[in-house]
Each structure stands twice: as C-alpha cells, then as structure tokens.
Structure 1
Amino acid sequence: MMFRMLLVCALVGTGSALSCRWMEHKYEEYRDNSLDLLNAMGNNSINAINSTEDADLEDALAFPNELYNLASKARTEETLRFMAQLLDEIVSVFEEDQTSASWQESAAEDFLNVITQQADGLRSCVASQSQRKNKKLSLYFRRMSNLLEQTGHDIETWEWIRKEVKMHLQRADLLLPAKTN
C-alpha cells in the first residue's frame, strides 16, 4: 500500500513541468528582472555602435537557429533543460573580463545572480537532472567568448553581446507558451 502511495505521488509530481510551483510563481518575476537589468546595463552603453561592426560580428558568430525550432518541438522537460543551459552559457560569457564594458560591475553581478537563480529554478521543474548538454549551444557561446578575447573585451563587442543575450532571453521565453496547450 505504501508503495502505491509513493508511486502516485511520484507520478503526480512529475506531471507537466509547467505545473511546477516555480514556473507558476517565480518564472515571470525572474524573466522580467533579468530583462530589466540587461536593459539598464544598455542604458549606460554608447548609443552609436558602428552598424558595420554589428554586421561583422553577426557574420562571425551566427547562432544555429534550428536549436530554437528543435526546443519548441521537444517535450516540455527538454525545453526547460535547453533554457537552463542557455542561461548557464550566458553566465559563462558574462564571467569574462568586463572592465571595458559600459556598465558597472555591480549591474553585471546582479544580472548574473538573477540568471543563475532562473536557471536553477528551471532545473527544479525537470524530473531527471541529466547533465547532457547541447554541443551546438555550447560551441556558439564558446565562440562568443573567443570573440571577446580577440577584440580585447572592448565596449562594442560587449554591447553587441548584451543585445544578443537580450534577444536570446526573449526567444527562449517564446518557447513556453507552446507548452501550455
């Protein structure tokens, strides 16, 4: 009898990942907070970044867009794992030398704290804590870090990365409504 009760509890607990308490009560707060912090970091940046440089950076570092297509078609848990990895990869880039960035170090620290908590929250909604990472996603962010090193962590590259990260946070957020149907 005790085994049956445990089995029922386990099955109920692993229902839809979107019914996870963290997703219901905290996800939007952390998402909004991370975007607000990223926007505030941009308010301190230079307004006129050379659009030619932006185009060059985009050519040098094209994101494998099929990853979002795959994540949108995946099971909810796989989508949440993808989103958590995306956040972890963002954290690893923002741990680079930011002395040339236009924002204050404390703003970046606040952003990293919120992103880390958001990734932890997403992982808390996944039943199996597989450590399998998406290699293409890791490679993209590794190339981003390499680009930072090649440019000497300059202000223009950091601003381009801030904009890219904002776009990725917004795109990842769009993965969720498809899971609520």
Structure 2
Amino acid sequence: MLNRILLVCLLFAGSSLTCKWMDTNFKRYTEGALALLKTMKMNSTNSTDDVKLPDAAAFPNELYRHASKAPVSENKHSFAAHVLDKIVVLFREDQTHASWSARTGEDFLNVITQQADGVASCVSITSHKKSHRKMSMYFKRLALHVLEEMEHSADAWELIREQVRLHIYRAHRLAEA
C-alpha cells in the first residue's frame, strides 16, 4: 500500500516537473519557429497569390475548436504535440525546390522537432499516443494534394509554409489556454 502511494506521488511530482517545459520553453520555441517561417517567406521569390490550396487540404478549424473544448490541459497538450509531430514529418519531405535555403529548412526542422519533443514530455505516454486520426489524415492530404501533386515545387512549399505557420500559431494558442 505504501509503495502504491509513493508511486502515485512520484508520478505527480514528475508530471509537474516536466510541464515546467511548457512554462519556460514553449513560447520561446514557438517564436523561434515563427521567425524562421517568416524568414522563409521573405526568401520566397515566387508569388503564390494565384496558387490556391486544394479544398481537400483546407485548414481544419473544427479540429482545433473541438480540441480547445477539452476539459484537461493534458489533452490540449497532446493535440499540440500531435500537430507538431505531423509538421516534423511534413518538413522531412524533399525541399530541393523550396525557395528557402537548405540550412534554413534544417534549422526550422530542428526547432520544431525540439518543440514537439518538449510538448510530448508534458503529456503521458497514453495521452500522446492517443489517436488524432482526422488531423493525421489532414497532414497526409497536405502531402499528397499539395506537395506531391505540385511536385514539391517552390509554390507548393510556400502553401505548406503558410499552413504550418497557422498550425504553429493555433497550437500555441491551444496549449496556452
């Protein structure tokens, strides 16, 4: 009995320590990622005003609304961790034709990977592994309908960059709520 009480206390203590990452680092990593995305846009020489995102890859506002209504902040953090993980996967695609430098792309990938790992440290393993199937499907559609169909072109990457900027902003708002 005493062992169980001690185990529960240790779990709660460990959980509160890991969530300090959200208080001390999350905002800094978000700002760093957004600054890199802004730099990537400034380096863009192509105009994507006439290039539109396919309807199949429209921004999933309803998923964020649903996640924001979660009663427990760990569920919000889990959703944010999942989004960041999917951004990492997306940015591991071929960026050869992107308008930004390879170094800038690598820097962004490093920042977003560290942020995803940090957020994941604030959620339990079962919560982080929780299926966010609709969001996963959304990112697969982005990869298929934007990157693959547009042959990983600079225009495709600019559309992806803008979608990712929105996701980072929304994930930040969600995790801070």
Using structure 1 for the length normalisation, give the TM-score: 0.86
Query: Offset of 1:60 from its aligned partner?
Result: 3.8
Where do 5+ consecutive residues of structure 1 fail to align? none
Comparing 122-131 and 146-155, the one that deviates more:
122-131
Structure 2 match to 1:68: 64
How many residues end up aligned between the 2 structures?
173
Q: Any conservation in 1 of the 2:81–2:120 contact (CA below 8 Å)?
A: yes
Residue 26 of structure 1 aligns to a residue whose secondary structure is helix
Where do 5+ consecutive residues of structure 2 fail to align? none
Query: Offset of 1:132 from its aligned partner?
Result: 2.4
Structure 2 match to 1:140: 138
Q: Any conservation in 2 of the 1:123–1:129 contact (CA below 8 Å)?
A: no
Question: In structure 1, how many angstroms separate the alpha carbons of the residues matched to 2:11 and 2:57?
Answer: 43
Structure 1 match to 2:122: 125
RMSD across aligned C-alpha pairs, in angstroms?
Answer: 2.0
Query: Offset of 1:3 from its aligned partner?
Result: 4.8
Going from structure 1 to structure 2, the CA distance change for 1:112 and 1:6 (only over 3 Å counts) comes to same
| Code of the aligned partner of 2:84 | L
Query: Offset of 1:144 from its aligned partner?
Result: 0.8
Query: Offset of 1:127 from its aligned partner?
Result: 2.8
Runs of 4+ in 1 over 4 A off after TM superposition: none
- Identity among equivalent positions (%) equals 45
Instruction: Summarize deviations over 1:89-142 as a string: whole Å, max 9, x none.
Output: 111111111111100111111111111110110011113444222111111111
Using structure 2 for the length normalisation, give the TM-score: 0.88
Q: Any conservation in 2 of the 1:84–1:123 contact (CA below 8 Å)?
A: yes
